[in-house]
A and B are shown apart, each in its own frame.
Chain A
């Protein structure tokens, strides 16, 4: 892989020894827009930072295609729910871009409770030559105005303005975990632990509840919704995943309330793998449709699975992300790592899937060649523009040079959020509070 662009962190060198990270800077979501020109990140402090890819230029060949900060804004602030005595975190859980319909860009960002629609516009011209005001904006002395002039637009330094256009509030009692824009570009859905709501992008004071799995008696609660997504092409279809490891495909044409799924995707549990933590590790943390719409990708604690929409009984492919952790589940339960929610991603052609792991490792699986690779996102191990070196975790037995043993993995360094450019081999990796962007200049082989 090619160059390494590290942004957002000012200077870590003196902080490295203390391993100190401002909690507010921890990146909580990463998302490319539909062209890949823009990359948005959200963090725990409620801020959104948008990066823009520089157009390739012949003058500076090394900076072609680099991502630089385009805009930063505060999306959500901490709130307090007085009725329930609950503080509402400002952490951005998800960002989803709307397809671009005019010169402006729009995105949805959400915290635990409120979804906001932001419009991002550029201003690179300003009017000059007003009749009544001078250049500083002060009113002119009318006696000096002798003729009328038409103000003209003159170029100015680019200014990016971000304004909140809609605020979709009070739709959710539980914590919102995902949002997804429909292919009709008019509606989107938001899912919390027990309910999914359908919103119209222009209407903020109401939404339709399309899934409600809250039992009449909360005692009977056995599963929650963990992620959801609209089908990329069929505006009536969406999928949601549950904490029990199942996926439900729902058709909004079937009924107004899609509590009854059209298809249920579930793999029976392997009884030989049963443990105290079976329920936890089978909980699906992310679900993504392939670009083709034919497949779904799910991530649970130890594996990623590819499901064919036409086959409900089991996934068509299962990849072990870090099976060496299976014997460590007790410790991971104690230190809460077992609850980490990893995301997964497809590449543009749906041939490679990617997901994060611990120790700032991330994994890629080539579905065609069945080869996989472990790479590391860290300053120390990769100089800018160096090729990323594949890493290996050894589980005892013969240990090669540069191998990492399971016991020396750093579980505080987790890569939960990754994103793949929609068409090119560019990936964005969020490693705690650092954002790494890797590009594949030459089509390097996986090994």
Chain B
């Protein structure tokens, strides 16, 4: 899939492109005249392309690498995000993702949560700033001014974990210390043997769903909000808690895998060559929906 792609000149690689693109989306929120839908759509294409390259590079490295040792932390208790077709995740398999060390801290902040534009009932969060009312689905023009409603992943969460529920797909994701423990690339059964007893998907029943709704923040959309060029404080947190700092590359997986939902329009154009790649890219591509919602949710 990426063989036909020419590497761009010089300095820019996938990660820089991703951070530049996110910066553009972020700054477009404050520009005069409102969000330019066309420009943001084009930026989202660059994001997708860069992410595909990044993920396939990551995957290629993982594939070459021997299986990682068992993690020092306990496996996350809450289930993890992902489309149903992927197998159960090994616990803590990807705390220390391999790969080249970070190129610098130009990367975006870890996930920022915004209610999706179609959300009719924004959830209340402890300590979260008030959210502006979401437009109704019928009359929503697709523009939703979130200005200021972006808030970082709950810092006050007692266990350092953030669990988000995507109201569109009812998929629950757990992020440990701002870092999604199972990276999407590790979900390929070929490189990491599945551990029994770890739930990967979560389909709340009718009763459970209400409970979950109250406790957990809404997910979906708006990852770009709050992205800036500031150094990543989450990274500092990683350093506190883990023996070696994870590379910044992991933040990108956080951003893109924390939201799981379909983006069929873009996915249909891109098909992976191999089935391994397909497993990985499918899930990665599937989470691009969040980007578009970020773009049009303003």
A contact residues vs B (CB 8 Å cutoff)? 84-89, 91, 112, 173-175, 177, 193-194, 214-215, 218-224, 226, 243, 271-280, 283, 327-330, 333-334, 336, 339
B50 CB-CB contact with A under 8 Å: yes
CA distance A85 to B265 in the complex (A): 30
B266 CB-CB contact with A under 8 Å: yes
B293 CB-CB contact with A under 8 Å: yes
Partner of A89, one of B17, B32, B147, B261: B32
| Nearest CB in chain A: distance from B254 CB, A | 20
The 0/1 profile, CB within 8 Å of A marked 1, for residues 117-149 of chain B is: 100000000000000000000000111010100
CA distance A220 to B261 in the complex (A): 11
Q: Across the interface, do A328 and B38 meet the contact criterion of CB distance under 8 Å?
A: no
A280 and B42 in contact, given A218-B117, A328-B9, A333-B20 (Cβ under 8 angstroms): yes
Q: Across the interface, do B263 and A87 meet the contact criterion of CB distance under 8 Å?
A: no
A243 and B42 in contact, given A112-B33, A193-B37, A333-B20 (Cβ under 8 angstroms): yes
Residue among A218, A272, A278, A336 with the most chain B CB within 10 A?
A218
A175 and B37 in contact, given A89-B32, A219-B292 (Cβ under 8 angstroms): yes
Contacts of A283 in B (CB 8 A): 38, 42
CA distance A33 to B54 in the complex (A): 51
A-B contact pairs, 22 of them (CB 8 A): A86-B33, A87-B32, A87-B33, A89-B32, A175-B37, A215-B265, A218-B292, A218-B293, A219-B289, A221-B41, A224-B41, A226-B38, A243-B41, A273-B6, A276-B17, A279-B42, A279-B45, A279-B46, A327-B9, A330-B10, A333-B46, A339-B42
Closest residue of A by beta carbon distance from B263: A219
* Chain A interface, DSSP helix/strand/loop, else mixed: loop
Contacts of B24 in A (CB 8 A): 336
Closest A-B pairs by Cβ, 6 of them:
A279-B45, A89-B33, A173-B141, A222-B265, A86-B34, A220-B265
Closest residue of A by beta carbon distance from B147: A85
B70 CB-CB contact with A under 8 Å: no
| Nearest CB in chain B: distance from A30 CB, A | 21
A-B contact count (CB 8 A): 112
B280 CB-CB contact with A under 8 Å: no
| Nearest CB in chain A: distance from B135 CB, A | 9
Closest residue of B by beta carbon distance from A285: B38
Q: Across the interface, do A243 and B38 meet the contact criterion of CB distance under 8 Å?
A: yes
6 new A-B contacts at CB < 8 Å, known A86-B33, A220-B264, A333-B17: A87-B33, A87-B34, A91-B33, A219-B261, A330-B11, A330-B17
A222 and B17 in contact, given A274-B5, A275-B6 (Cβ under 8 angstroms): no
B60 CB-CB contact with A under 8 Å: no
Partner of B8, one of A85, A222, A275: A275
CA distance A272 to B262 in the complex (A): 29
Q: Across the interface, do B296 and A221 meet the contact criterion of CB distance under 8 Å?
A: yes
A219 and B33 in contact, given A243-B41, A280-B45, A333-B46 (Cβ under 8 angstroms): no
